Structure 1
């Protein structure tokens, strides 16, 4: 299939090279700042924005690393922070924007020199003392402080920085990172991270990746440092602060670090063992594990869901086996291999849901085909079939029937069409070829056709881009 044919299949929006169309903007908390930056000059927007979140991101620069110094006091939920962003200019930047709707800003510097700035909605415009040349590496430091607040979206729910009874937890999907640090919130701009989290001594702080030595204590406060050395999309960044029982072991040489709020009744060992089993099984299906540690955090909040934060998913309550398999599978599908656009979220949720079906198939449950058949019996007039899985719309991007279940059904239909050998080769090749990168549905179609030597356009058109029950 050519790029032109694939673009036509998905109404010119699924290929990574396709032009995005406009969509309603997300609702952002109103914020303001007393320092006003002049508005002339280049701000860096060069490529099309995400159709579901057109306010997010800036493609005029490429972030390499975020160093987040977070000093948090659970009793008051006050945060004092400094974010250091290392980036490279892709074009001349007389000014540039970051996504930020967090606490008040105290100071911004670019390469150590004071910078003017302006806040408007979720955008923070920064004006360096002198314009940044294309190809130049630069460093932005933003000092800020106050009480972060989450986003509570009528369609997407509660996300971002969420204060808990004993601390806080961050759940950023889709665009909540801006509630607690300045960020280039573009799925395509992955970066590495360092988290330096200071809390009152006795409070535990966790984040993505691996701890760097023992926490440093002094003057009644303790600083824990964590690093994520593999590229990470900003919606997957995580910190969890509070009272936790932490368990650390090794699984095939990879640290398994899980944390459990002791206030929760139940078995605090299940998450640890289930995570190890799910990740080991995932290696046999999807290829080598993509990160340097694994684990999970159980931290009650008002969110009411789990999230596949990179290397260490967060669960709002003790998960069952299927939930652990689902979030573990996301480490391959979504975290390592990340969609280029949010309209392709089925590439995350359809694959993770299908991993649940595969797990059940191999662990005494129904086969994936039996699960598919039960869902396919849903009558054609049911709302189950009345949205497009490959483009559900911003407000329906977490629709369980449309994105999760019908996404998994698409994969089962693909498996039935191309056969098990080609299908399971596809799962492994997908993760090997696109590891740490970004993809669109067209990339999946091209790879599936390459492996199977079949024209799969009708299958994907029917299952992803038709708001109706596909014929079989």
Structure 2
């Protein structure tokens, strides 16, 4: 994610939530997975494998009628389990095609009780039918556009506003969307478009993502889009969509093949089967790395596109284990857009840029007060943007270019389509260096004061 008008004033007073208590009933899946920041996110007792969402949306009335099928495997005996869902009223739930009892509770819990308990290790299917008015969350999920269209975007939460799921980075699954809208409207999502046909006064569109994805990285966007269709030299399809007042971004998006080639040269092969972008015209304050096809706000520029495309490697393919690991996402995306692209494509002296930034903020206590590793709930999306690039540039100078770029490329490949943590990254990088990096990492990732000069100015950054 990239925020508009990034500022270097840190947000104080982070609140760290405590872990959720274990489920009292050993045959009921836990209602949350205990992430320190969002303990009720995700659910225990099963592993989701695929989501198939079929929806009908009427833009004038914002009426949403949908069915979501979830293919999963039980990881324990289950007489009941939870889904995360904050969308319209649920009409029916079935488990393995048999009616199931259900109730809604908490902020986003849908508790399901199957007619026949589920056995560990066996696959099962849950189907949820729901219908009602879609609610405008203004950038925290289902969001209405000025044109009358709508789209889903938000981090770390957004998917629960339009389909039920196991909403945790730890349970990636493949995804398919089948949407029906009035014929004059278009539908864009992630992955590959497999259907787009008009039947009378209705349009039916399908998109499929064959690589696993986290909930907040899925999206649906409905508007009177125009399209830009391109291909990479290797044939990868690039489909980009522009809302009625977003056409000015078309020239920037035409550089997508060049951007993909550049980032691929740094971090290794592009991990997905398609790419593109969705340019909305709603007044949101962020752009978001929805997998294969980022959501772009009206203020998007070239640097923003580079940032969100870098996320396809860092955040989408390799995802956080916990939200305290968010530097893995944002530090790398910011470093790619703010340092590597300007250095290699525009000839910027990034060492000078680094020194200038350090000099500007060295005595600014607010700049340093939120740590990069474990910044705290509510502060995840602060220091990782403005201090993350400095950390990675200092690490690059500490290791030297050859070791640094080989290490980050290898680390990314080793965790592709999975999860990783900041401790994992620290351990891996240490294995590539004969020098003890404990002090360096602590100074940059854990301290809330400026690093000592030996860590601020390593290698060729030394005066």
Same fold (TM over 0.5): yes
1-side partners of 2:193 and 2:114: how far apart?
34
The answer for the alignment partner of 2:267 in structure 1 is 286
* Candidates 88, 101, 112, aligned match of 1:116: 101
The answer for the alignment partner of 1:171 in structure 2 is 153
Count, aligned residues: 430
2-side partners of 1:362 and 1:40: how far apart?
57
1-side partners of 2:141 and 2:348: how far apart?
36
- Cα offsets for 1:375-407 (capped at 9, x unmatched): 2111334300111111111111111xx111211
Q: Are 1:115 and 1:127, in contact at CA under 8 Å, matched by a contact in 2?
A: yes
Q: Are 2:240 and 2:276, in contact at CA under 8 Å, matched by a contact in 1?
A: yes
Q: Are 1:150 and 1:176, in contact at CA under 8 Å, matched by a contact in 2?
A: no
**Alpha-carbon shift at residue 146 of structure 1 (Å):** 1.1
Change (3 A) 1:267 1:170: closer
2-side partners of 1:301 and 1:107: how far apart?
33
Q: Are 1:336 and 1:436, in contact at CA under 8 Å, matched by a contact in 2?
A: yes
Q: Say if 2:245 is the partner of 1:270.
A: no
Q: Say if 2:114 is the partner of 1:128.
A: yes
The answer for the alignment partner of 2:68 in structure 1 is 83
* Candidates 50, 53, 65, aligned match of 2:50: 65
Once the two structures are superposed, the pairs formed by residues 351-390 of structure 1 within 5 Å of their partners are 351-356=332-337, 357-377=339-359, 378-390=361-373
Change (3 A) 1:114 1:48: closer
Change (3 A) 1:267 1:469: closer
The answer for the alignment partner of 1:405 in structure 2 is 386
Q: Are 2:58 and 2:182, in contact at CA under 8 Å, matched by a contact in 1?
A: yes
- Cα offsets for 1:183-229 (capped at 9, x unmatched): 101111000001001110121101000011x4233241111010000
Q: Are 2:371 and 2:446, in contact at CA under 8 Å, matched by a contact in 1?
A: yes
For the residue of structure 2 that corresponds to 1:49, the secondary structure is coil
Once the two structures are superposed, the pairs formed by residues 169-318 of structure 1 within 5 Å of their partners are 169-212=151-194, 214-252=195-233, 253-264=235-246, 266=248, 268-271=250-253, 273-317=254-298
**Alpha-carbon shift at residue 59 of structure 1 (Å):** 2.8
Q: Say if 2:432 is the partner of 1:455.
A: no
Deviates more, 1:83-92 or 1:140-149: 140-149
* Candidates 388, 407, 421, aligned match of 2:402: 421
**Alpha-carbon shift at residue 151 of structure 1 (Å):** 4.3
Q: Are 2:54 and 2:67, in contact at CA under 8 Å, matched by a contact in 1?
A: yes
**Alpha-carbon shift at residue 172 of structure 1 (Å):** 3.1
How large is the Cα RMSD of the aligned pairs? 1.8
The answer for the alignment partner of 2:34 in structure 1 is 49
For the residue of structure 1 that corresponds to 2:92, the secondary structure is strand
Q: Say if 2:143 is the partner of 1:162.
A: yes
Q: Are 1:274 and 1:324, in contact at CA under 8 Å, matched by a contact in 2?
A: no
- Cα offsets for 1:290-321 (capped at 9, x unmatched): 00001101011232210000000011115211
* TM-score (normalizing by structure 1): 0.88
**Alpha-carbon shift at residue 268 of structure 1 (Å):** 2.4
1-side partners of 2:174 and 2:424: how far apart?
25
For the residue of structure 2 that corresponds to 1:363, the secondary structure is helix
For the residue of structure 2 that corresponds to 1:290, the secondary structure is coil
Q: Are 1:172 and 1:237, in contact at CA under 8 Å, matched by a contact in 2?
A: no
2-side partners of 1:48 and 1:106: how far apart?
27
For the residue of structure 2 that corresponds to 1:266, the secondary structure is helix
* Candidates 61, 74, 81, aligned match of 1:96: 81
Change (3 A) 1:394 1:129: same
For the residue of structure 2 that corresponds to 1:373, the secondary structure is helix
**Alpha-carbon shift at residue 24 of structure 1 (Å):** 9.0
- Cα offsets for 1:206-263 (capped at 9, x unmatched): 1000011x42332411110100000111110011111111111210211011111233
1-side partners of 2:313 and 2:364: how far apart?
35
1-side partners of 2:287 and 2:318: how far apart?
19
- Cα offsets for 1:422-454 (capped at 9, x unmatched): 001012102211100000011111211122233
* Candidates 436, 442, 448, aligned match of 1:467: 448
Change (3 A) 1:136 1:317: same
Deviates more, 1:84-93 or 1:295-304: 295-304
* Candidates 357, 377, 381, aligned match of 1:394: 377
Q: Which runs of 5+ in 1 are unaligned?
A: 1-20, 26-38, 153-157
Change (3 A) 1:183 1:172: farther
- Cα offsets for 1:309-359 (capped at 9, x unmatched): 000001111521111110110000100000101111111110001001100
2-side partners of 1:292 and 1:389: how far apart?
32
Q: Which runs of 5+ in 2 are unaligned?
A: 1-15, 454-463
